[in-house]
Structure 1
């Protein structure tokens, strides 16, 4: 009896059955399927209204003729690089984009620093500065075209009242004029972005700098500007993209003139497509602009990552 008991105790236990895998796979796989299920409507939206139109434009850019039905390969792109009107519109657009980007950063940051102070009625001031951005480009363009009109504009009337000579605002330096109008419209938006960035900087940094004897100017250069690098990067990227795609300012205020001085690139594409009826060539110009925007954005993001600091 003792021998049988000892043999039983020494006999190995039968192996446990392997745990059954839950239905539907692992938890990570189920989460991935759930995520893709919720992303499906957005992916379909982008496929139908973003990627398919881009593919159609790329296809159209390789055709020529009145109906864009004659295959020409890369002929439209070759013509674009040799077209002086395209080079002029691109240079004008580049100046416009650089001017609006630099102005948006400087003006937006200055306004944000101003309204971040404990001023009376600062909420009302912020709202007043944001209203132009909430107004459409068409309304802003019509408003400023009437204000700057050399004969009936309110600005020249005010100069006449003060005994000053009137100015032909849209003829003397029209590109600078539409840059200033654009800055007037977008300054409130960039102000809000910089204001959010300023309020995200911990006060302990400024307290420590004050204890170390740093004045306000030193605090601005050593603390505020470096910690606003992500906000500045976002503002610059959005301003460059918006500047390269600008259209309404040239179409409504100056109609691309005088002498193509405000012939912005997208306005030139519009002229080629709907007035010259050359849809293949205009599609090629649009594709080139897409690559230019992607290149500028990539360079800005790469430079912005190097400029980020942490304290």
Structure 2
């Protein structure tokens, strides 16, 4: 009976296993193979040459540094803003369901549409934002020239904070009310209940949101490609955007494959570290 149930379980898992093998593991294996070659057709074997080149390439270090800063800023912003919105919309407010839906709409919109939308909004001459500033007799800004990285960080937060909010809402609504009631009976005010009850019990949700946000930030591409084109002066040359240029502008597919595989390793390392140290703060209930 157990063997039959096991066969049934594996049979039901087969489509998912096939999906991961075909669209995840085989492409990663092909990426690793290509990264050991160079030339326009990636047919010249170089071994670890592309990886050595990556560690000594100042353009790669620049792109990686900007991307880490971008990922940290968007992760912290998503955690803070997502939790704040979740706490606000977890209250019995009129129309809160509508507000929740509206805040989630940007996340459900494609990166291309969001990028084009904000590129038009931030246009120095015709953009709505500068027109609003001018109408208020405030100085207009060259958003994509003077504050390019901060601008695309803001766009990223605008698009992804709603998703973090929904996750935090689920976490808040999963906390048994008895814990808050017990803390209130013990004389704890709202601030102490938040610090000693809500935050510890939200640790699993916080860990998940942080992992997803870091991965999303490290893989960001559309914001740099559509809104700023990596400029000005490579100020928004995010790592994946740099890999894209190496592959399709310089036509160096072996080197771009090596850079891509390094990103896989970095994301895996970040995830393992977050899982290992993030779970220490979890509270079981």
Q: TM-score, normalized by length of structure 2?
A: 0.98
Counterpart of 2:35? 61
**1:205 paired to 2:179:** yes
Alpha-carbon offset, residue 310 of structure 1: 2.9
Choose the corresponding residue for 1:123, options 83, 87, 97: 97
Offset, 1:159: 1.1
Instruction: Supply the distance in 2 between the matched residues of 1:197 and 1:85 (Cα, whole angstroms).
Output: 41
Displacement, 1:164?
Answer: 1.3
Q: Are 2:194 and 1:194 aligned?
A: no
Aligned to 1:283: 257
Q: Structure 2: any 5+ residue segments left out of the alignment?
A: none
What count of residue pairs does the alignment treat as equivalent?
A: 285
1:250 equivalent in alignment to 2:244: no
What is the rounded CA distance, in whole Å, between the counterparts of 2:189 and 2:14 in structure 1? 54
Aligned equivalents of 1:250, 1:287: Cα separation in 2: 20
What secondary structure sits across from 2:52 in the alignment?
A: helix
How far off its partner does 1:305 sit?
Answer: 1.4
Which moves more between the two structures, 38-47 or 245-254?
38-47
After superposition, give the CA deviation of every residue in 1:121-165 in whole Å (9 maximum; x if it has no partner).
Answer: 111111111111111111111111111111111111111111111
Instruction: Detail structure 1 runs of 4+ shifted over 6 Å in the superposition.
Output: none
Q: Matched residues in 2 for 1:287 and 1:125: separation?
A: 40
3-state SS in 2 of match to 1:67: coil
Residue of 266, 275, 284 corresponding to 1:301 = 275
The separation in 2 between residues aligned to 1:130 and 1:138, in whole angstroms, is 17
Match of 1:177 in 2: 151
In structure 1, runs of 5+ residues without a counterpart are 1-26
Q: Do residues 156 (structure 1) and 153 (structure 2) align?
A: no
Alpha-carbon displacement from aligned partner over 1:208-266 (angstroms, at most 9, x marks no partner) = 11111110000000000000000000000000000000000000000000111100000
Q: Which structure has the greater CA radius of gyration?
A: 1
Structure 1 residue 45 displacement after superposition = 1.9
Question: In the alignment, which residue of structure 1 is the partner of 2:48?
Answer: 74
Which residue of structure 1 lines up, in the alignment, with residue 244 of structure 2?
270
Report the Cα distance in structure 2 between the residues aligned to 1:211 and 1:48, rounded to whole angstroms: 56
Aligned partners of 2:52, 2:104: CA distance in 1, in Å? Answer: 43
Q: Secondary structure at the match of 2:61?
A: helix
Q: How big is the shift at 1:28? A: 2.2
Query: Is the counterpart of residue 222 in structure 1 residue 190 in structure 2?
Result: no
CA root-mean-square deviation: 0.8
- Give TM-score scaled by structure 1 length: 0.90
Report the secondary structure of 1:310's partner residue. Answer: coil
